[in-house]
Amino acid sequence: MILSCSNISKAFGSNEVIKQASFHIEDHEKAAIVGINGAGKSTLLKIIIGEMPADRGEVVISKGKTLGYLAQHQDLSGEKSIYEEVLEVKRPIIEMEEKIRQMELDMKHLTGPDLDHMLSAYSRLNHDFEQQNGYAYQSEVTGVLKGLGFSEEDFKKPVSALSGGQKTRVSLGRLLLTKPDIILLDEPTNHLDMDSIAWLESYLINYDGSVIIVAHDRYFLDRVVTKIIELDNGNMNVYQGNYTDYSQKRAMIRDAQMKAYLNQQQEIKHQEEVITKLKSFNREKSIKRAESREKMLDKIELLDKPSHVNDEMRIRLEPNIISGNDVLTVKDLKKSFQQNHLFDKLSFEIKRGERVAIIGGNGTGKTTILKILNGILEADAGQIALGSKVHIGYYDQEHHVLHMEKTLFDELQDTYPSMNNTQIRNILAAFLFTGDDVYKRIKDLSGGERGRVSLAKLMLSEANFLILDEPTNHLDITSKEILEDALINYTGTVLYVSHDRYFINKTATRILDLTNHTLVNYIGNYDYYLEKKELMTSLYANPVQVSVSSSQTEETSDIKVDWKTQKEEQARLRKRQNELKKTEDKIHQLETRDGEIDELLMKEEIFTDVQKLMELNNEKEAISQELVSLYEQWEELAE
């Protein structure tokens, strides 16, 4: 055991965010702290590192072990370049290397015992230098910076000129290179693109020390951690396994808790009714029995009603009008910002009912595509055509659809004047805004709160084509799951940009990868994209065009499958699955009827009636023959 937290409690005023929390971390263990926004996750990390005192309890770290902590926001300054800032972590190795070089110069002028003494010291120092990976420290620094998304051109930029997200990445690089025994990371994936997150996953999985992570990236947690520490209304629960394991176990436990609570409530109600009835008899014996039952009720340890957070925020997205089958057609779209060329000749189509995710690295132009589609930006060239009866609902990560000076109440009332006060309050309550919250100004809300207001407007729009830019940003895991369920059950069409791989995996039916200034199409979710990425990128978006032989060209053309072919294959599979389902249903019906006939044939009034007996036997024979055919059909479809 490398870290132990025992009975940690912390309150801010009357709000006790952590109540007697206890857990421990083993050597090399990777754990995550999860919970809704405001649950106390970052507070717990600050208590562990000693930045904030606990009201009660203690944190014990094994003797000689080191801690490294990355906060959500960094404030780096100074004129050092990115490379120099991160390289400074290797200062002891740099100084060791300088000393080795100086000793090499000094030894040229020594002889006899002095030279022997120097050689001995030189040998020891060289050994230490090698043990600390001294010969590869520059490559190590370069590898970490590139892994975190910095190009070699970026290395020379001064840290003072960086954005908040870039500073966080620099700080993360410094932390990883210090290699503490325990790394504590608070939302490390917030400012990373997909490639950088994948790199960080691999780094942490193979990291020799222990890791504690606060993150809302469920795909990241699934890959990295083996323990989940949940903070729920101040209470702590510890689960073994990754995020998916935790989610399943939590659902089972909460279902069991709810059943136990409802059973107890039912029993209490039953006992109270019996007590009332006994007292109404107004006899000495019945009154004593009633009093005895009352004493038993008083001794019952009442169970608290389990808090199902998923029930608190309710999103129901439903289009008002069904659109035509062709929802969006984009041809030869082009956009540049001065010297920054984003894309050229982008063409794609979206059909009714699809949920399409646009993915790609930071700065490739994903959000720009959505802004062009919504008329916020103009394309340099290209054509955009909306299909019949298409009504767009737009959610942007900068919340341009919101008016910053308005209150929440006015924002909804002005947009939907036909709604009365009660309806507006009910909608806002569904998105966790109650009481005087509805009179807050939009500009005073947090990013997550603004996101919820935008979602409320989206829900009311009854649009049949939703265009969403990073819809899960600033949402906690529970809110993400609610949004996922809403989109999965939505009967309209969805186009969105997201870095949330778990969200994409759960909701997308198709992925458009914006890479090397073009779009590569994948008919499937994020797991399918990962499986086919290398092949599809080499075929459709290879940045280096090389000449190939005719045989290679033929081979490539055999492999190439455009999105229409993939779409046809998907439709064929869907049709086959429907046929399989119909066959299974028919088999079930006939098997059920066959069983019913067997029961009827056992009855005296049937087997003594020759005509009825013959009818049932004939029906049974016909069922038997049809089942043989259906079994063969099912086997063929199942293959």
What is the C-alpha to C-alpha distance for residues 636 and 639, in angstroms, rounded to an integer?
A: 5
Q: What is the average pLDDT across 432-459?
A: 84
Mean pLDDT of 558-582: 68
* Helix (H) or strand (E) segment spanning residue 155: none
Q: Examine the pLDDT at 516 and tell me if it is beyond 50.
A: yes
Is 395 in contact with 468 (CB distance < 8 Å)? Answer: yes
Cα–Cα distance for residue pair 331/585, rounded to 1 Å: 44
Determine the pLDDT at residue 20. Answer: 94
The amino acid at residue 296 is: M
The rounded mean pLDDT for the chain is 86
Alpha carbon 156 to chain centroid, angstroms = 34
Q: Which two tokens stand for residue 393?
A: 């609902």
112: left (phi over 0), alpha (psi -120 to 50) or beta: left
Band of residue 497 on the pLDDT scale cut at 50, 70, 90 = very high
Quick check: 612 pLDDT over 60?
yes
Residue 635 has pLDDT above 80, yes or no: no
Q: Which pLDDT score is estimated for 638?
A: 63
Nearest to 70 by CA among 207, 170, 147: 170
Per-residue pLDDT for 205 more than 90? yes
For the segment 449-483, what is each residue's pLDDT rounded down to a tens digit?
888 888 888 888 889 999 999 888 777 777 788 88
User: Tokens in use for 255?
Assistant: 């279902």
Give the whole-angstrom CA distance, residue 203 versus residue 223. 11
326-562 belongs to which CATH class? alpha beta
pLDDT tens digit sequence for 245-299: 998 998 898 888 889 999 999 999 988 988 988 888 777 878 888 899 899 889 8
Q: How far apart are CA 626 and CA 630, in angstroms?
A: 6
Q: Would strands 465-469 and 493-497 be described as parallel, antiparallel, or unpaired? A: parallel
Report whether pLDDT(337) > 80: yes
* Whether pLDDT at 558 is above 50: no
Phi and psi angles of residue 64, each rounded to the nearest 5 degrees, phi first: 85, 0
Q: Residue 211: helix, strand or coil by DSSP?
A: strand
> Six-digit token pair at 575?
């049709």
Lowest-confidence pick of 229-243, 378-392, 606-620: 606-620
0.85 cut: is pTM over it? no
Q: Three-state SS across 524-580? A: CCHHHHHHHHHHHHHHHCCCCCCCCCHHHHHHHHHHCCCHHHHHHHHHHHHHHHHHH
Is the distance from CB of 411 to CB of 403 less than 8 angstroms?
yes
pLDDT over threshold 90, residue 310:
no
CA 313 to chain centre: 18
Identify the pLDDT of residue 249.
Answer: 92
Q: Name every residue whose Cβ is closer than 8 Å to that of residue 378 and which is 6 or more positions away in sequence.
A: 372
Task: Name the residue with higher pLDDT: 311 or 627.
Answer: 627
Rounding to the nearest 10 degrees, give the CA dihedral for residues 599, 603, 607, 608. Answer: -170
Amino acid at 425: R
Candidate from 98-102, 170-174, 314-318, 544-548 with smallest mean pLDDT: 544-548
Lookup: tokens for 416? 């939907």
Q: Give residue 550's pLDDT.
A: 42
Q: Is 212 within 8 Å of 182 (Cβ atoms)? A: yes
Cβ partners under 8 Å of residue 469, min gap 6: 367, 370, 395, 396, 397, 398, 496, 497
- Compute the distance between CA of residue 329 and CA of residue 349 in angstroms, rounded to an integer: 5
Phi/psi of residue 492, each to 5°? -85, -155
Closest CA to 630 of 599, 594, 597: 594
Greatest mean pLDDT among 124-128, 133-137, 157-161, 460-464 lies in 124-128
CB 243 within 8 A of CB 268: no
pLDDT exceeds 70 at position 528: yes
Q: Determine what percent of the chain is predicted with pLDDT higher than 70.
A: 92
DSSP code at position 441 = B
Which tokens sit at 146? 């590139």
Q: What does 231-274 look like in DSSP terms, one character per residue? A: EETTEEEEEES-HHHHHHHHHHHHHHHHHHHHHHHHHHHHHHHH
For residue 543, what pLDDT band results from cuts at 50, 70 and 90? low
- Note the pLDDT of residue 73: 66
476: which 2 tokens? 């906690």
Give the H or E element holding residue 336. strand 326-337
Question: What is the pLDDT at residue 102?
Answer: 92
3-state secondary structure of 406: coil
pLDDT value of position 191: 78
Reported as a pLDDT band with limits 50, 70 and 90, residue 553 is: very low
What is the dihedral angle through the alpha carbons of 579, 581, 582, 588, rounded to the nearest 10 degrees?
A: 140
Give residue-wise pLDDT tens across range 346-369: 999 999 999 999 998 878 899 899
Task: Please report the pLDDT score of residue 166 as a whole number.
Answer: 83
360: closest CA among 511, 166, 507, 483? Answer: 511
pLDDT at 77 over 80: no
For residue 549, pLDDT beyond 50: no
Give the per-residue pLDDT at 190. Answer: 78
Which residue is it, tokens 């999103």?
315
Lowest mean pLDDT among 32-46, 68-82, 525-539: 68-82
Q: What angle do CA 563, 568, 570 make, to 5 degrees?
A: 90
- Report, as an integer, the average pLDDT of 78-99: 90
CA dihedral 365, 329, 331, 535 (to 10 degrees): 60
Query: What's residue 74's pLDDT?
Result: 65
Q: How confident is the model at residue 400 (pLDDT cuts 50, 70, 90)?
A: low
pLDDT reported for residue 307: 65
pLDDT at position 438 over 60: yes
pLDDT of the residue at 566: 64
